[in-house]
Structure 1
Amino acid sequence: MINNSDLLTTAEAVRLLPKAELHLHLEGSISLKTLIELAHQHHVQLPPKLHAEAVLEYRDLDEFIDVSMFAFQVIRTSEDFTRVTFEMLSHCAEHGARHVEFFFSPSSHRHLGYPQILQAICGGMRLAEQRFGITSLIIPSHNRMLGAEAGLNFLKLIESCPAPEVVGVGLEFAERNYPPELYGVLFGKAKKMGLRLTAHAGEDGPAAYVETCLTLLSCDRIDHGYHVIDDNDLMGYCKDRGVWFTCCPTTTKHTTTWKQLTSSEHAIHQMIAAGLNVTINTDDPGFFQTDLTQEYLSLGLPLETLACLALNSLEASWMPGPEKARLRELWQAEIDDIIQRHQAH
Structure 2
Amino acid sequence: MVTSGIQTESQRAGLEHLVRTLPKVSLHCHLLGSVQASTVVQLARRHRVDLAGHTAETLYDHDSYEDLGEFLRVLDVVGSLVRDLDDLHRITYESLTLGGAAHQVLHREIQISPPGHPGVPYPRLIEGITAGMRDAHTDTGITSSIVVGLCREDSVSQAMEIVETVIEHRTDEVVGIGLDYAEVKGAPAQFAPAYARAGAAGLRRTAHSETGPPRHIEVLLDELGCDRIDHGYHVVDDPRITQRCVQQEIPFICTPVSSDIGRYSGSGDGSHRRIAQMVDAGLKVAIDSDDPPMFGTDPTHDFRALARALGYGLEELAGFTRNAVDACWLDASDKAALRHRVEQQITALASDAAAPHD
Does TM, normalized by the shorter one, top 0.5?
A: yes
- Secondary structure of the equivalent of 1:220? coil
How many residues of Structure 1 are paired with residues of Structure 2 in the alignment?
A: 334
Q: Does 1:223 align with 2:230?
A: yes
Q: Distance in 2 between matches of 1:230 and 1:343?
A: 39
Q: Which runs of 5+ in 1 are unaligned?
A: 1-7
User: Hey, what does 1:275 align to over in structure 2?
Assistant: 282
Partner of 1:4: none
Q: Map residues 289-328 of structure 1 onto 2, 5 A cutoff.
A: 289-300=296-307, 301-328=312-339
SS in 1 for 2:184: coil
Q: Which position in structure 2 is the counterpart of 1:5?
A: none
Q: AA paired with 1:260?
A: D
Q: CA deviation at 1:343?
A: 4.2
Q: Identify which of 56, 62, 67 aligns with 1:56.
A: 62
Q: Is the 8 A contact 1:204 1:255 kept in 2?
A: no
2:197 match: 189
Aligned pairs for 1:153-302 (under 5 A) are 153-201=161-209, 203-257=210-264, 258=266, 259-262=268-271, 266-300=273-307, 301-302=312-313
Query: Relative to 1, partners in 2 of residues 1:337 and 1:191: Cα closer, same or farther, differing over 3 Å?
Result: same
Identify the match of residue 125 of structure 2 among 104, 117, 124: 117
Q: Kindly state the Cα deviation for residue 56 of structure 1 after the two structures are TM-superposed.
A: 2.3
Task: Tell me the CA shift for residue 81 of structure 1.
Answer: 0.3
Task: Please tell me the residue identity of whatever aligns with 2:318.
Answer: A
What is the identity, as a one-letter code, of the residue corresponding to 1:333? Q
Correspondence for 2:346 among 326, 335, 338: 335
Whole-angstrom CA distance in 2 between matches of 1:59 and 1:286: 15
CA shift at 1:303, angstroms? 2.3
Cα offset, 1:312, TM superposition: 1.4
Query: For residues 198 and 47 of structure 1, do their structure 2 counterparts lie closer, same or farther at Cα, with a shift above 3 Å needed?
Result: farther
Instruction: Confirm or deny: 8 A CA contact 1:211 1:234 kept in the other structure.
Output: yes
Contact kept? 2:80, 2:116, Cα under 8 Å: no
Whether contact under 8 Å (1:60, 1:256) holds in the other structure is no
State how far apart, in whole Å, the 2-side matches of 1:336 and 1:108 are. Answer: 41
CA pair 153-310 structure 1, distance change in 2 beyond 3 A: same
Q: What is the aligned counterpart of 1:84 among 71, 86, 91? A: 91
Q: CA deviation at 1:245?
A: 0.7
Identity %: 36
- Code of the residue aligned with 2:225 in structure 1: it is S
Deviations 1:54-99 (A, max 9, x none): 3522232222112221111111111100000000000210111110
The TM-score normalised by the length of structure 2 is 0.90
Structure 2 stretches lacking a partner, 5+ long: 1-12
Structure 1 stretches of 4+ with a deviation exceeding 6 A read none
Contact 2:66 2:263 in 1 (8 A): no
Output aligned runs, 1:73-152, within 5 Å. Answer: 73-90=80-97, 91-152=99-160
Q: Distance in 1 between matches of 2:333 and 2:124?
A: 32
Deviation at 1:260, TM superposition (A): 3.1
